[in-house]
Amino acid sequence: MQAKPKTADEQAATLEMTSTADSVERFVLAGDWRNRGISQVLNDLMAAEQKQGQGKLEIDASSIEAVDTSGAWLIRRLINGKQAEGRDVELIGASKTLSDLVDVLPEGGLKRPSADKDQRTLFQRIFEPAGKAVWSLGQDALAGLHILGSAVGGAQLKGGRGAGVSPASVVTHIDRMGVRAVPIIVLMSFLIGAIIAQQGAFQLRYFGAELFVVDLVGILQLREIGVLLTAIMIAGRSGSAITAEIGSMKMREEIDALTVIGLNPVGVLVFPRLVALTIALPLLTIIANFSALYGAAIVTFIYSGITFQTFLSRLHEAVDYSSVASGMIKAPFMALAIGIVSAVEGMKVGGSAESLGTHVTASVVKSIFVVILMDALFAIFYSAIDF
Amino acid sequence: MAVQDDTTADEKHPDDDRVILSVRDLTVSFGTKTVLDHLDLDVYRGEILGFVGASGTGKSVLMRTVLRLVPHSSGSIHILGVDYEKADVKTRMALDMRMGVLFQHGALFSSLTVKENIQLPMREYLDLPQSLMDELAYLKIDMVGLAADAADKYPSELSGGMIKRAALARALALDPDLVFLDEPTSGLDPIGAAEFDMLIARLRDTLGLTVYMVTHDLDSLFSVCDRIAVLGQKRVLVEGTLDDMLACDDAWVQSYFRGKRARSVTTDYGDANAVPGK
């Protein structure tokens, strides 16, 4: 518990129950009845409120040193409660501030919001979220298709000037999502290639087939790992950015402004990002592949003494056109999936900062999931067509 | 050019009991650009000070400097007689409790309901049971003229005027001595704005609140402000009552208080001498 400011220099609020000579009940209030002084008096006050009594009640406030609305409210509540019991309550010795304050506070008790009780049965409480989740999944898919369709439709709602793709915007986004991601992609892929090569070399050494580590790294990287890890990195890096950008624009009614001006928000905001991602992700994948193979070559040279020349000639034999193509084909599809998922999540952002956080999280989680799912589907498809 | 009234300068000392906020020799610069240059200002206990100035003269910067959101390069700020920079942590906390701020756009926490927004400062500083905090929150909501049902709503579900009222309720959560209001009536309809002005005046009367109000609303200035200060040329150009403003010969002050819009408001209130708060 955090330390509260001490009120040592101020006398805490007190309440004493006495009665006067002519047996009129009297509550004597004293001390600091401001918000930091009242916590000690609450128990006494509750006892005073619950105490049964009859006849006239005097509340002596002459010893109160200071008061604010919190203290005045406690006094008001006491008066309200006693008056409701049908007693004659008089506040005596109150300063002008206190009596003014007590007077302006509500006499008949507080207005509280009407409580909305949860009327649902247990059955509904269990199955309603499940139903909602299924329904929203369908809505998400629909929204994704809508975004894809609108994006292809272009920026203009009213079919004004041409397709409405702004090259400047696309180039900016390629710079932000592609070019600036190069360093991290290069570093990550270099390490991944090196790690696979090292583990592969150690395991293959048992069979005396160390040279085949080149096949292992080459095929694994070009077919699967290169595009998959690059897409995951871009989903985390750019997917979250797309959701946050579109979401905060939604929060500040900028999306509504675009619609009113006659532009299609999806066309203006989402389409350039989709195009940029679709161009950037394959290019990043190529860079990632080069970097990973370079990392693998260095590691195999250090651990297994395979020279660059041997590495390259072995790679030439192991890897053919289909290995490279099967990896690269996946890249634009994954880029589209990341772009659409993050745009759908961005459009769902509501009014609060919390909802922005929720949807950015959902965007990253969903796009990574979709990317991995697509990779699996492609793997099945390739094996079916023997590619 | 109008200069601050020097005859009362001796009374305006930081140690004066009546002075709740005292700014001396304050200079604020951003890079090489000086926004406030050796500015002096006093706010007295129990008054409503209206602060005006052309856009971009640094009204918000001054308020944010006093609230220590912007650092200053020289000068001193005494709040309730305490220099915040030299105070220890305990004094600073006690001081923070005694100030409330209404930001221009409300600055309610969007992920909390109105009730939770009001209770946030209470939770931080006070040791009260939840039931009492609920009651106090409903009390504040009632005091600022919001419907009780607004308590459980989120800021995104409120209208502009309701957000201002809810933000005022949060500013008043700890019953502060000094409240800063940044354009409290901007974006409100004239009736709502007038109600808001009356509300502030009533709170001043009942709670003994001191109000530092940045405003462009001439109605507010004429109807509730006890004193007006004008910011210009990087310092307080003139401060005083409405009469002092009307008597001031600075061109901007002249056009502000004697312009077409001001005249229509002053006629509504009768002669300028009859303005309340004198």
For the cut 90, the answer to whether the pLDDT of residue A162 exceeds it is: no
Q: Is B198 on the interface with A (CB under 8 A)?
A: no
Contact B149 A35 (CB under 8 A): no
Phi first, then psi: what are they for B11, rounded to 5°?
-70, -25
In chain B, the domains with their CATH numbers are 46-68+88-269 (3.40.50.300)
Q: Which residue of chain B is at minimal alpha-carbon distance from A33?
A: B175
A44-73 pLDDT tens trace: 888 888 877 777 888 888 888 888 888 888
**Which band of pLDDT confidence, cut at 50, 70 and 90, is reported for residue B130?**
confident
User: Residues of B numbered 200-229 whose beta carbons fall under 8 angstroms of chain A's beta carbons: which are they?
Assistant: 202, 205-208
Count of CB atoms within 10 A of residue B83's CB? 14
Mapping DSSP onto H, E and C, the string for A314-352 reads: HHHHHCCHHHHHHHHHHHHHHHHHHHHHHHHHHHCCCCC
Query: Lowest-pLDDT range, A58-67, A292-301, A309-318?
Result: A58-67
Q: Whole-angstrom Cα distance, residue B96 to residue A368? A: 45
Q: Is B90 on the interface with A (CB under 8 A)?
A: yes
Q: Which residue of chain B is at minimal alpha-carbon distance from A356?
A: B111
- For testing contact with chain B, the best of A10, A36, A248 (most B CBs within 10 A): A36
User: Residues of A numbered 107-166 whose beta carbons fall under 8 angstroms of chain B's beta carbons: which are they?
Assistant: 110-114, 116
B106 chain-A contacts, CB cut-off 8 A: none
For the cut 50, the answer to whether the pLDDT of residue B3 exceeds it is: no
Q: Whole-angstrom Cα distance, residue B3 to residue B76? A: 21
Mean pLDDT of A10-32: 77
B122 chain-A contacts, CB cut-off 8 A: 35
B18-76 pLDDT tens trace: 888 888 888 888 888 888 888 888 888 888 888 888 887 888 888 888 888 888 888 88
Residue A327 CA neighbour count, 13 Å, CB half? 28
Contact A35 B151 (CB under 8 A): no
pTM of the complete model: 0.72
Contact B174 A35 (CB under 8 A): yes
Closest Cα of chain B to A342: distance in Å? 22
Spatial strand order of the sheet with B33-44 comes to: B33-44, B19-30, B74-79, B82-83
Count of CB atoms within 10 A of residue A4's CB? 13
| Residue in B110, B125, B150 nearest the CB of A352 | B110
Phi first, then psi: what are they for B228, rounded to 5°?
-130, 140
Q: Is A41 on the interface with B (CB under 8 A)?
A: no
H-type alpha helices, chain B: 59-66, 89-97, 114-125, 130-143, 160-171, 190-207, 218-223, 242-247, 251-258, 260-268
For the cut 80, the answer to whether the pLDDT of residue B9 exceeds it is: no
- In total, the C-beta contacts within 8 angstroms joining chain A to chain B are 92
Contact B142 A351 (CB under 8 A): no
Q: Are the C-beta atoms of B110 and A354 separated by less than 8 Å?
A: yes
Which DSSP helix (H) or strand (E) runs through A293?
A: helix A271-304
| Residue in B111, B151, B207 nearest the CB of A354 | B111
As given in the structure block, the two tokens for residue A270 are: 């989402």
Say which residues have a Cβ less than 8 Å from residue B58's Cβ, sequence separation at least 6. B28, B35, B36, B231, B234
Q: Is A100 on the interface with B (CB under 8 A)?
A: yes
